[in-house]
Amino acid sequence: MKNIVLFASGSGSNVENIVRYFQDKNNSVIISVVLTNKSDAKVLDRCNNLNINGLYFNRNAFYATDCVRDILKNINPDLIILAGFLWKMPEKIIKDFPSKIINIHPALLPKYGGKGMYGNNVHKAIKANNEQETGITIHYVNENYDEGAIIFQAKTQINSSDSVEDIANKVHELEFEHFPKTIEKLLFEV
């Protein structure tokens, strides 16, 4: 039995997809808790509906004290997964869990990464630059935004008629398909 912790800041459609994926696999993976930095994030409603623990924390609990860090240390998860989480991970936590924190980014890193590049901001920039392809990157988390070692990437084509929303949908499709499988591989294929 493996256990994981998820972090999310918004809608949490990736969180829901990951939870359902492992529920369908006889719960070989326990989702110990979903942590969010937004008290009104939709991901908390999803946690309620899915019957899993959702917990809100504020800036103080994350950066000024060891509150979130201690929660993680107590759980001692096999993997910490950032699924649409927008705050920078404190260095202390990165040091506590070497090679155990992963993030999903909605573009083909190293392009369209860095501070401010998240969610629709990424898709808008890709549309503005008339890119012909985009994709997803799953990578380890280090001290710099979107710069950790890449674990997995997948691409999708963009048509000139695609809106920002169309691009976002194409990227979400890739995320739903590949994120749970990549997590499973990391957990079970040593």
Catalytic annotation, residues? 105
Q: Residue 15 in contact with residue 7, Cβ under 8 Å?
A: no
Binding site for ligand GAR (CB under 6 A): 8, 10-14, 83-84, 104-106, 118-119, 171-172, 175
Tell me 64's DSSP state. I
Prior bond of 110 cis (ω within 30°): yes
Measured from the CB atom, the residue of 18 and 29 that comes closer to ligand GAR is 18
Distances (CA, A) of 79 to 6, 60, 69, 120, 178: 9, 23, 14, 26, 16
| Residue in the shown chain whose Cβ atom is closest to ligand GAR | 84
CB of 74 to ligand GAR, least distance (A): 26
CB of 77 to ligand GAR, least distance (A): 19
Measured from the CB atom, the residue of 111 and 172 that comes closer to ligand GAR is 172
Q: Please, which contacts does 43-49 make with residues 24 or more away whose CB atoms are closer than 8 Å?
A: 43/8, 43/9, 43/10, 43/11, 43/12, 43/15, 43/84, 44/12, 46/12, 46/15, 46/16, 47/12, 47/15
Measured from the CB atom, the residue of 2 and 178 that comes closer to ligand GAR is 178
CB atoms near residue 38 (< 10 Å): 16
CB of 2 to ligand GAR, least distance (A): 21
Give the count of alpha carbons within 13 A of 67, CB side only: 13
CB of 83 to ligand GAR, least distance (A): 5
Q: How many whole angstroms separate alpha carbon 119 and alpha carbon 175?
A: 12
Measured from the CB atom, the residue of 10 and 180 that comes closer to ligand GAR is 10
